[in-house]
Amino acid sequence: MSAAQSLAQGRRWKAWEIAILVALPLSWFAAGEQHSLLANEIAIFALFAVSLDLILGYAGIVSLGHAAFFGTGAYAAALFAKHVNPDPLVGLAVGIGVTTLLGAASSILVMRGSDLARLMITLGVAALLYELANKLDFTGGADGLQGVVMGSLLGRFEFDLYGRVALAYSLIVLVIGLLIARGIVQSPFGWSLQAIRDNRLRASAIGLNVDARLGVIYTISAAMAGAAGALMAQTTGFASLDGLDFHRSADTMLMVVIGGAGWLWGGLFGAIAFKLLHDVLSAWTPQYWTFWLGLFLVILVMVGRDRFFKPWLWFKK
């Protein structure tokens, strides 16, 4: 099979992919008022996990500071809503724009060096932004940015207490993000990223501009993470240091590991599995839920994801 045929086959929509995209909007009806808030969190973190998978699973950029973009997007959207304009869509665009600039600036730092250097750089950027948010007055410091009141969505739909409008909003943005991510990974650009991930020196030897491609995908990933952060701030009315904390990056990394790095839909399924496990385990054993989550992850790694999730491996075909 030629490269052109493989690319065309990858672009072709599979029935289960269409089913997933249809199921996402339908989940709004299934969630109901009781589970809308949890479903909204899952949608937001699914978008965040997909953004991390673009650089980790497809480009091979290991990051432990991806929360830098999530938290920055949250603060940008919250500050804009509080001091400039409460319109959610405009605030979302501002959050994406700010994190796009941040991603483009910080991408210069991750283009070169080893994986260990990238780990330390991404972690350092997130720690720097965390400390800035903690010290600056207009961010609210350790108390967070409170009292963020959002306007109605499209001038018609008010954010309600049960999170029904928030869930619909997050699901729409998630679907758009998935469509963009799929278009990227199934394009020649996406294939070149996988070539760089597998063998950077060989990719450079055949004429690929490695640094430029890594910079572009890192910037796109930052923009998607910023969108997720903006959604979190807008749907909760609150932005805090929690969005920039290390545990936020670690949790998202676990979502990608559970779902499968280098598989577009892995971020979505990983976020669903992680948040449901978190919700169920913390309700069952509030003091020791992290132990059971850790045990699950150990078993997953020891047994292997392919054997652990064997009943639905046909999704990847």
pLDDT exceeds cutoff 70 at 2: no
pLDDT at 100: 96
Instruction: For 134-173, write each residue's pLDDT tens digit.
Output: 888 888 887 888 878 888 888 788 887 777 888 999 999 9
Q: What is the pLDDT at residue 139?
A: 83
Kindly report the backbone phi and psi dihedral angles of residue 268, in degrees, each rounded to the nearest multiple of 5, phi listed first.
-65, -50
Q: Can you say how many angstroms the Cα of residue 147 is from the centroid of all Cα atoms in its chain? A: 25
CATH number of this structure's domain 3-284: 1.10.3470
Quick one: pLDDT at residue 305? 60
Average pLDDT of the residues of the chain: 84
User: What average pLDDT does this structure show over 64-74?
Assistant: 91
Q: Which residue has the tokens 């980790």?
A: 56
Q: What is the pLDDT of residues 222-281, one digit of tens each?
A: 999 999 999 999 988 888 888 888 888 888 988 888 888 888 888 888 888 888 888 887
pLDDT at position 89: 92
C-alpha–C-alpha distance, residues 98 and 101, integer Å: 5
Question: pTM (2 decimals)?
Answer: 0.89
CA distance 314 to 306: 11
* 258/277 Cα distance (integer angstroms): 11
Domain ranges of the chain: 3-284
DSSP string, the chain: --HHHHHHHHHSPPHHHHHHHHHHHHHHHHHHHHHHHHHHHHHHHHHHHHHHHHHHTSS----S-THHHHHHHHHHHHHHHHHT---HHHHHHHHHHHHHHHHHHHHHHHSSS-HHHHHHHHHHHHHHHHHHHHH-TTTTGGG-B-------BTTTBPPPTT-HHHHHHHHHHHHHHHHHHHHHHTSHHHHHHHHHHH-HHHHHHTT--HHHHHHHHHHHHHHHHHHHHHHHHHHHT-B-GGGGSHHHHHHHHHHHHHH-TT-TTHHHHHHHHHHHHHHHHHHH-TTTHHHHHHHHHHHHHHH-HHHHTGGGGGGG-
pLDDT above 70 covers a percentage of the chain that reads 91
